[in-house]
Amino acid sequence: MEPDLSVEFAGIKLPNPTILASGILGVSGEMLIRVSRAGAGAVVSKSFNRKGREGYRNPSFIEVHGGFLNALGIPNPGMEEMREEVETASKQRVPVIASVFGFDAEEFAESAMMGERGGAIAVELNVSCPHVKEVGVEIGQRPNVVAEVTQTVKSRVHVPVFVKL
């Protein structure tokens, strides 16, 4: 008999507590489906914003003494296309958390609403990326801005909102 690994997280029932973190495996709906079918309890999309970003030119992943270093620059196709990717996975009953970022509270909110429209079960506010000026960690280090972003997003969506510090 298989053990019951299900958990309830912010009112969301998941089959197990493993969650794919936001990153390169979360770029397409098909990949989110694949990771879910491999056993993840939920998956987080690649972080996206209103218009999208090209990201940094290669090499974006290099070996350094003692490990590896990456800096992608939050590449993404924008909220319209990412809504479609979230929707593709959600239609296959994959629990998707939409990861969003923005240059201001309004952009965070618009992106979050688009993720929810695609069927996301929750929204992650990415305020921790150290690679892009004026977003990510620059926001995350200013509690008043994190509060404004969080309040704005929470007032616009009807799913749980998490802040990724």
What are the residue numbers of the active site?
Answer: 129
- The residue type found at 137 is V
Question: Can you give the three-state secondary structure of the chain, one letter per residue?
Answer: CCCCCCEEECCEEECCCCEECCCHHHCCHHHHHHHHHCCCCEEECCCECCCCECCCCCCCEEEECCEEEECCCCCECCHHHHHHHHHHHHCCCCCEEEEECCCCHHHHHHHHHHHHHCCCCEEEEECCCCCCCCCCHHHHCCHHHHHHHHHHHHCCCCCCEEEEC
